[in-house]
Structure 1
C-alpha cells in the first residue's frame, strides 16, 4: 500500500494535520489530525510502498516500545491504516 500523493503533514500548535499544499482554501471538514507518532510514521512512509510489518519495524526502531507485544503494536498499526483507509488517505 502507499499513502495518497500530494498530501503533507504540518505541525499546527501541538497538533499535526494532513494538508494538501495546492489547496487554495482549506476545507475544514477535511482536516485530519494525527498524534506525534502517526505524523512521524507518515513522514517515514510518504512516497514508499509499505506493509504493516514495515510500520512495526519503523516504530520499534524509533520508539521505546519494548513493553508492547508484536500483536499489540500490529493492532495499533492496523487501526492507523484503517483510519487512513476510512479517510481516503491511502492507496492499495
Structure 2
C-alpha cells in the first residue's frame, strides 16, 4: 500500500494537517489532522510501498515501544488512513 501522492502534510503551529493542494480553496471538510507521531510516520512513508510491519518497525525505531504495541498501533493507523481515503486504491 502507499499514501496518496496528491495529498500534502502541512504543519501550522503545532497542528499537522493533510490537505489536497489541487483545491483552489481549502475545503475544511476534507482536511485531516494528525498527531505528532502520525505526522512523523506520514513523512517516513511518503512515496514508498509499506506494510503494517514497516509501520511497526518505524515506530519501534523512533519510540520506546514494544513490538506488540507498535504492531497494534500500526494496524489502527492504517485502518484509519484507509477509512479516511488517504491511501492509494
**After superposition, where does 1:73-84 map in structure 2 within 5 Å?**
73-84=70-81
Q: Which moved more, 1:35-44 or 1:71-80?
A: 71-80
- Shift of residue 64, structure 1, vs aligned partner: 2.3
Q: Which moved more, 1:7-16 or 1:45-54?
A: 7-16
Equivalenced residue count is 89
- Shift of residue 43, structure 1, vs aligned partner: 0.6
Matched position secondary structure for 2:10: strand
1:62-83 Cα deviation digits (max 9, x unpaired): 2222xx3x22221111111111
> Structure 2 length as normaliser, TM-score?
0.91
- The answer to whether 1:72 aligns with 2:50 is no
1:11-40 Cα deviation digits (max 9, x unpaired): 122110001222211111111000001001
Matched position secondary structure for 2:33: strand
d(CA) in 2 for partners of 1:56, 1:35: 17
1:47-70 Cα deviation digits (max 9, x unpaired): 1000011111111112222xx3x2
Gaps in structure 2 of 5+ consecutive residues = none
The answer as to whether partners of 2:60 and 2:70 remain within 8 angstroms in 1 is no
Gaps in structure 1 of 5+ consecutive residues = none
